[in-house]
Amino acid sequence: MTFHVRSFALAALTVALTAGLMAAPARAADATTAPRTGFETSGGTRWTGEEEERSFLAAVDRASDRVALSRIGTTKQGRELALVAIGARPAATVTTVLLICSQHGNEPSGREACLTTVRDLAFARDRQTRAFLARTEILVIPNANPDGRAADIRGNSDRVDVNRDHIALKTAEGRAMAAVIRDHRPDVIYDLHEYGASPPYYDRDLFDLWPRNLNTDSRVHRESKALSERYVRPAAEDKGHTSGTYGIWTDPATGEPIRQVAGDGQERILRNASGVKNSVGLLIESRVDPLTDAEKADPAVNNRRRVSSQLAALEGLMSFAGERGPAVRAATSLARWNGFLDRGPIYLGGADNTPATPAETLADPPCGYRLDGTQFAEVKDELALHGVVAREVGDGAFVPLRQSQRKLVPLLLDARATYRLASGQPVTAC
């Protein structure tokens, strides 16, 4: 079954690309009063403003009983980090999907796609969407870096790349996302970005990539690749967009890979942290650069193509969640349960396309790590945000590997881990 949210946004953007203007919403009984983003009302000539975003989300929340809007944090400059929940409430038979939108503040198309997706799911009246939302919880962080978005910069107000903070959790933005992942335990985490092309080797409309970190459970890894290869890319291509693997340059004549420029297995990136934390993960990147003469002549045309490609890919995500929900829940549940079995190696390096060296492999991991009092005081809040269980012992703590986040623990506490929080003392006898 292919999932179709024939959204206000996607319908409007399709018309815009063919007629050069934005169409009015065309669905639902109250389509004439449904809120629209600043991007939509401007025909793509500008991105939705900060106050417009707040007003838009508040209006959707007021008008739809499917939606719950909450604050999950506040940035250094005092801007709200919001979470939107749509559809079913958490249960064993519900698939939870988390959208993380525009972690990089100068990559706005994902945010626009997320905002209109929130609205479209909130107001859709067709039977298929209602059935989908009865068994699926959609969580959306529409603007994961509002300070960066306001300044149109990649990082946050301290110029920190939020998408390199999913281990250290030093930023308000990273901490808020970690708490959502801990508390909601999403089955799927979908991370929306944009990229700059390098023609002719690296210039598709959309790139995506699954978790490459070797600590991703094999079932979760398999579902993540299926999300990419069987759903997201085909959905984008069905709408006329080209797609490929993020970080891989290809020969324009043969399509064969010739160079990897990004997309490694480092755990501090959300795409990989998702896999380590037992969620199916996917990074999506839309092309910023104009493609056609029309896009070069009119930035609004380019902007609309960027957003429409994100929306097309999101249709693939929704189809995946609707069709493979039970299989995905089984994969994530088993991955979490396997942590309590405390079996198998743990990797401090490598990726699914780069084998870990012996020095990067804990073939026989310790049963846990001992932190002294000073260490524990420094990292206990971060451990809690990660959902890692620590038992206070004396003036310090013991962090066992026998827990659902087993493969995360050494990445946080082993002295050989690149992005560790502390160098704990391995305990081999428990």
Alpha-helix runs per DSSP H in 20-102: 38-41, 50-63
CATH of the domain at 116: 3.40.630.10
Query: Cα angle at 243 between 239 and 249, to 5 degrees?
Result: 160
What is the per-residue pLDDT for 429?
A: 86
Q: pLDDT tens for residues 119-137?
A: 999 999 999 999 999 999 9
pLDDT at residue 18 tops 70: no
281/175 same-domain check: yes
Which stretches does DSSP call E strand in 222-356?
243-245, 248-250, 257-260, 280-287, 346-347
Confidence (pLDDT) at 268: 98
Number of C-alpha atoms within 13 angstroms, CB side, residue 172? 21
Q: Residue 6's pLDDT band (boundaries 50, 70, 90)? A: very low
pLDDT at 114 over 80: yes
Q: How far apart are CA 76 and CA 176, in angstroms?
A: 12
CA dihedral 168, 353, 346, 283 (to 10 degrees): 40
Q: Is 351 helix (H, G, I), strand (E, B) or coil?
A: strand
Q: In this structure, are residues 73 and 120 in contact, taking their beta carbons and an 8 Å threshold?
A: no
Residue 430's SS3 state is coil
Domain end among 335, 361, 394: 335
The first and second tokens of residue 263, run together, are 């997309």
Split at pLDDT 50, 70, 90, the class of 32 is low
Identify whether the C-beta of residue 387 lies closer than 8 Å to the C-beta of residue 405: yes
Q: Which element (helix H / strand E) includes 164?
A: none
| Total domains present in the chain | 2
Mean pLDDT of the chain: 93
Decide the pairing of beta strands 188-195 and 95-101: parallel
Note the pLDDT of residue 430. 82
Q: How confident is the model at residue 246 (pLDDT cuts 50, 70, 90)?
A: very high
Could you tell me whether strands 188-195 and 280-287 are parallel, antiparallel, or unpaired per DSSP bridges?
Answer: parallel
- 3 lies in some domain: no
User: What are 304-318's pLDDT values in tens digits?
Assistant: 999 999 999 999 999
Task: Verify that 152 and 93 share a domain, yes or no.
Answer: yes
Looking at residue 282, its pLDDT comes to 98
Confidence tier at 33 by pLDDT (50, 70, 90): confident
- Identify the domain boundary among 278, 303, 335: 335
User: Where in the sequence is the domain holding 134, given as residue range(s)?
Assistant: 8-335
Q: Which of 302, 335, 368 marks a domain boundary?
A: 335
For 343-389, write each residue's pLDDT tens digit.
999 999 999 999 999 999 999 999 999 999 999 999 999 999 999 99
With 60 as the cut, is the pLDDT of residue 30 above it? Answer: no
pLDDT above 80 (res 3): no
Token digits of residue 268: 């501090």
Give the pLDDT band of residue 424 (cuts 50, 70, 90).
Answer: very high
My answer on whether 31 and 173 are in the same domain is yes
Tens digit of pLDDT for each residue in 169-222? Answer: 999 999 999 999 999 999 999 999 999 999 999 999 999 999 999 999 999 999
Give the residue from 158, 132, 16, 4 showing the smallest Cα distance to 75: 158
Cα separation, 148 vs 47, in Å, equals 14
Q: Are the CB atoms for 190 and 184 separated by under 8 Å? A: no
**Is the same domain home to 401 and 312?**
no
The answer as to whether 2 is a domain residue is no
340 within domain boundaries: no
At 18, which amino acid appears?
T
108 close to 114: Cβ distance less than 8 angstroms: no
- Range 228-238 average pLDDT: 98
Percent of the chain with pLDDT over 70: 93
